[in-house]
Amino acid sequence: MTSPNEETVKSFLYGGDPEAFAPDGKLVNLLPAELTFGGTYVGPEGVQQYIDTMRHILRIESLSVHDMVTSNDRVVVIGSERSRFLTNGQAYEMDWVHINTVRDGKIVEMREYNDTAAMLEAFKAPEAD
């Protein structure tokens, strides 16, 4: 059975719902400077800005969740994705981990850890044929 905290996390992960975040909830995605959508975004408005910025830079072609582990207010999601940079058409595949803290039905913090080497390699590659 899926916990309410897992359902909250899934509403953002699968549905891109920024309202899954608390008003002061933080999405933290620490990326190299070249990948301009990295950083800390606060509240539903900030999370929507993150989504909009990311959509102008890349397209997620597939997203797979391999495991979801819940303990109290923590939901850890282990997954992978295949995405493509819109600037050069280069695709990449990477593994990632999201560590979410959920309180009162809202995400108060989501920290994203990505295989940034795979992302940077594709980002810096010449335009795809």
β strands within the chain, DSSP E: 21-29, 39-42, 58-71, 74-85, 91-103, 106-114
Which pLDDT belongs to residue 122? 95
Residue 75 belongs to a domain: yes
- Structural domain boundaries, residue 81: 4-124
Cβ 32 vs Cβ 120: under 8 Å? yes
Instruction: Tell me the backbone φ, ψ of residue 8, rounded to 5 degrees.
Output: -60, -45
Residue 111 belongs to a domain: yes
Which pLDDT belongs to residue 128? 82
Domain CATH number, residue 8: 3.10.450.50
Q: What is the pTM of this model?
A: 0.93
Q: Using alpha carbons, list the distances in angstroms from residue 128 to 55, 92, 94.
A: 19, 12, 18
For the chain, the domain total comes to 1
Which pLDDT belongs to residue 110? 98
User: What are the structure tokens assigned to 86, written together?
Assistant: 């819109």
Residue 39 belongs to a domain: yes
Residue 106 belongs to a domain: yes
Q: H/E element holding 38?
A: none
pLDDT digits (tens, 9 = 90+) for 26-72: 999 999 999 999 999 999 999 999 999 999 999 999 999 999 999 99
- For residue 2, name the pLDDT band (cuts at 50, 70, 90): confident
Residue 112 belongs to a domain: yes
**For the sheet containing 74-85, what is the strand order?**
39-42, 21-29, 106-114, 91-103, 74-85, 58-71
Residue 129 belongs to a domain: no
pLDDT digits (tens, 9 = 90+) for 72-129: 999 999 999 999 999 999 999 999 999 999 999 999 999 999 999 999 999 999 998 7
pLDDT digits (tens, 9 = 90+) for 14-36: 989 999 999 999 999 999 999 99
Considering only CA atoms, give the Rg of the chain. Answer: 15
